[in-house]
Amino acid sequence: MKNDIIASSFVSKNNDGLRVAFLSTYPPRECGIATYTKELVDAVSKLRGVRPPVVIAINDKGGHNNYARLVKFRIEQEEVETYREAAEYVNDSDIDIVYLQHEFGLFGGVWGEYILSFLEKLEKPVVTTFHTLFLEPSRDARSVLERVLQHSDYVTVMARVGIRMLEQLYGTRAHKVRYIPHGCPNVSFIRSAVVKRRLGLKDRIVMSTFGLLNRGKGIEYAIRALPPIVEEEPRILYLIIGETHPEVRKQEGETYRNHLFNLVESLGLEKNVRFVNRFLGENELIRYLQATDIYILPYPNKEQISSGTLSYALSMGKAIISTPFLHAGEVISGGCAMECEFKNPSSITGCIKTLLQYDDARERLEKRAYEYSRGMIWPNIAMKYVNLFNEALRARSVSMRPLLD
């Protein structure tokens, strides 16, 4: 049925469909945005009226990635000339539109300013998704973001609050911004007990957090919340799923993970905390999430405006405990997650105890989370983006018409 979805009214110079270039990190590079892009590329590729997408991959310094064939050009993160060359490649190609993933740390230069060399030379429409927006940006960060906005035909955010931020803090016109949520897999709702047996977790009460490990995850606060829980319920098992972020590993090795190891040991939680130190493929990750009873997002950074891990937990119908960072705040206000305080283990403890004590509260969160995620499955998100790409092409063709008359 997915293959029967038709991309509506594409506007392309080519008779055989719309061609989109995705400018982003891309697997096998281990990066949350790379994973997001791969999932969206796969979903867009299944739409009728769309030609095979092209990927322009951003290589990290010293990276040697064995990319799939659809990666047609590589930008070297710290080599500004490759950004200009990428724009020339697009300008000379049959690509109709560029879809850019913007995160300050992806690009070279001060606050990722090298991406401006690409945008200034690009002659084709561009739609940009912002993965981070600062409430109080530095002058340089604001300057870079404002120039990216200036060169983008449309921009998208994964939380509705991002629209207000772009309008109020960055002076963006409302018609230029769209809310399109982070995508998620379309899986059936399954009770955790069914999957626990396959993973050797039978008779455990499973909590989990997943993602590339870095200090921005706030996992130490969740670990510190456990002793009072374990004292009452020794079956608790907290799974910390994912390896250390490659960029963090380059800077400090496994310092943060070792800090978490030592914290677990000092609190006597060796039997109650388990590290799954691997970058999991989607199917294995789904199994671990399906086996989870309570999902925890103890993120300490309020400004985080997108979270793939939150979207995945919602799609599995998990009872979620989260700090109210920008993306999660909207989920919490919709009654689909339970709020805990930033950097407060006692607050996390209280939330866990409530969900363990009241089955009806946990089941209500599970149901609301699963229902909330139905509009976010990848085929729906792919269609939203293709429709926006078409809108950008129509707007660009209208603006060019006076020059052609």
CATH of the domain at 198: 3.40.50.2000
**Along the 405 residues of the chain, how does pLDDT read in single tens digits?**
233 333 444 444 555 789 999 999 999 998 889 999 999 999 999 998 999 999 999 998 777 788 999 999 999 999 999 999 999 999 999 999 999 999 998 999 999 999 999 999 999 999 999 998 988 889 999 999 999 999 999 999 999 999 999 999 888 888 899 999 999 999 999 989 889 998 999 999 999 999 989 998 999 999 999 999 999 999 999 999 999 988 888 889 999 999 999 999 999 999 999 999 988 888 899 999 999 999 999 999 888 888 999 999 999 999 999 999 999 999 999 999 999 999 999 999 999 999 999 999 999 999 999 999 999 999 999 999 999 999 999 998 876 554 444
Question: 271, 234, 279, 225: which is closest to 35 by C-alpha?
Answer: 279
Q: Do 172 and 38 sit in the same domain of this protein?
A: yes
Are 325 and 397 part of one and the same domain? no
Task: Give the per-residue pLDDT at 369.
Answer: 97
Residue 304 sits at the vertex; the CA angle it makes with 339 and 133, to the nearest 5 degrees, is 140
Q: Is 323 helix (H, G, I), strand (E, B) or coil?
A: coil
Check if the beta carbon of residue 293 is closer than 8 Å to that of residue 363: no
d(Cα 319, Cα 152) in Å, to the nearest integer? 37
**Residues making up the chain, counted from first to last:** 405
Q: Are 346 and 227 in contact (CB under 8 A)?
A: no
Question: Which residues are within 8 A (CB) of 306 and not within 5 positions of it... i.e. 6 or more apart?
Answer: 131, 132, 157, 158, 159, 182, 327
Does one domain contain both 390 and 310? Answer: no
Angstrom distance (rounded) from CA 374 to CA 186:
8
- C-beta atoms surrounding 139 within 10 Å: 8
Residue where the block lists tokens 């009654």: 335
- Enumerate the β-bridge partners of residue 297: 322
Regarding whether 237 and 138 lie in a shared domain, the answer is no
* Domain co-membership, 310 together with 204: yes
- Per DSSP, the three-state class of 184 is strand
Q: Are residue 221 and residue 363 in the same domain, yes or no?
A: yes
Same domain, residue pair 213 and 124: no
Q: What is the maximum alpha-carbon separation in the chain?
A: 78
Per-residue model confidence (pLDDT) at position 15: 54
176 and 219 share a domain? Answer: no
Q: Burial level of 405, CB count in 10 A (0-12/13-18/19+)?
A: exposed
Which residue in 20, 6, 8 sits closest to 125, CA to CA? 20
The boundaries of the domain holding residue 236 are: 192-375
Can you tell me whether residue 377 is helix, strand or coil? strand
229 and 280 co-located in one domain: yes
Number of domains in the chain: 2
Neighbours of 377 (CB within 10 A): 17
What pLDDT, on a 0 to 100 scale, did the predictor assign at position 400?
59
Distance from chain centroid for Cα 42: 15
Pairing of strands 338-339, 177-179: unpaired
Residue 60: what pLDDT?
Answer: 87
Same structural domain, 133 and 33: yes
Residue 275's DSSP bridge partners are 240
Q: What are the E-state strand segments in 314-381?
A: 319-322, 338-339
Beta bridge partners of 100: 23, 128
Beta-sheet strand order (sheet of 273-276): 273-276, 236-241, 205-210, 294-297, 319-322, 338-339
Q: Residue written as tokens 């400090």?
A: 252
Same domain, residue pair 258 and 382: no
pLDDT of residue 16: 73
Are 313 and 238 found together in one domain?
yes
